A and B are shown apart, each in its own frame.
Chain A
Amino acid sequence: MFSASDLKKGLKIEIDGAPWVITEFEFCKPGKGTALYRCRMKNMITGIGMEKTYRPTDKIDEPNIEERELDYSYFDGHNYVFSDATTFEEVVVAPDKLGDRAYFLLENSTCNFVIFNGEPIEITLPTFIEKEIVETEPGARGNTATNVMKPAKLDNGFEIQVPLFINQGDIVKIDTRTGAYAERVSKA
């Protein structure tokens, strides 16, 4: 249990069985009145925001949240399997939890997990990964503009947008948060 005076920006709390993170916090005390703790918060699963004001005597549930690092191991045909590098404990993640980011999973790459009541609710991949381009229109020689883009396929079939000078066989760096091309690592 938290008491109202524990509330602050960044604190994770539980309301009606759901985990919320406080995004804005203000201590208020109207003249001669009671202290009030104004919070703006975000649901850690749905992303929905809300405002809530607490009084000094309020008690707030503490969520069972754990943060840990897990390495991506393999796809078992239905789910993505991650494992703990020290205990070898496996955590299974359904594809809908990852969306398109599943295309950016590299074997043994370490991801950050936020786990609520045993369920992963937030998975953060390494910010940048390197991938080979296996299919794209031939590069326009000498065109180094980075604002004109063309489609390119990765070895797993996923398509990203790359600048015109990128060729098949080039290794590129990709931002896993946005799926955007970041830079060329090496030429074919």
Chain B
Amino acid sequence: MVLLGLSLVAPKSYAAVRGVALDATAPVTSGLREVTATVGGIFTGAGNYWDAAHQNARLKRERELMLQRIIEAKAISLENRELKATLQLREHSRAPVAMGRVVGSSFSSPRRYAIFSAGTSDGVRVGMPVRTAQGLIGRVIDTGALASRVLLVSDRASIIPARILRSGQPIISQGRGDGTIDLRPLEVGRNPFKPGDIVITSGTGGLYPPLVPIARVVRLDDDGAIALPLADPASTSFAMVEEPYEPEAVAEEAGGSTDTQ
């Protein structure tokens, strides 16, 4: 009971013990991950064969659209680069700290954690954001030498300042503990969401880099929406850990409060 009290009041005090436990299980987990990935791949692969012809037609149509979009996007990014050059905007270099795999997760608790196969020996530190090519995964909360524990975006304690990609309206994204995300607009008024909306990070707060996709809206409720994360930790193979966007701001915040766990 005392132990529980201690770990509630001072979550940092057992970081070392927990790190060792993480390291001890990570090799097993990483090794077996290949097997489940293969098995999972077989099942989804079989599903894809089911209506291949129909899917093929749809994919071709989407590809045409995508080509158009890519050309548009290229033009925009060129323009953007020129504009930034004229403004002399200071850009951070966004080199990833470490690459790794999401190898496991918490099974039974209402909290959503994942085990990530890179640790302090790779330069991973507590508080760093983790993302894949598809979108944001979460942030590091525990580190061992070989593995770390990641608080997923679908955890209740994971609150991310975000924006709607379509309108740019600022919103708050908070996990619901069951693999989905709760979205709330910052301004009270008409519900700004539409099903299918993409939500991206806004970069406010300095932890998460801006313009990283988080989730897609699937259902509206009274004043917000429920969304599914775009990066599914169950099926992503590789993820990368990045530096906090504004390290100074994050350090300040971490010094002031201990609720990073």
**A joins B in a complex:** no
Residues of B in contact with A (beta carbons under 8 Å apart):
none
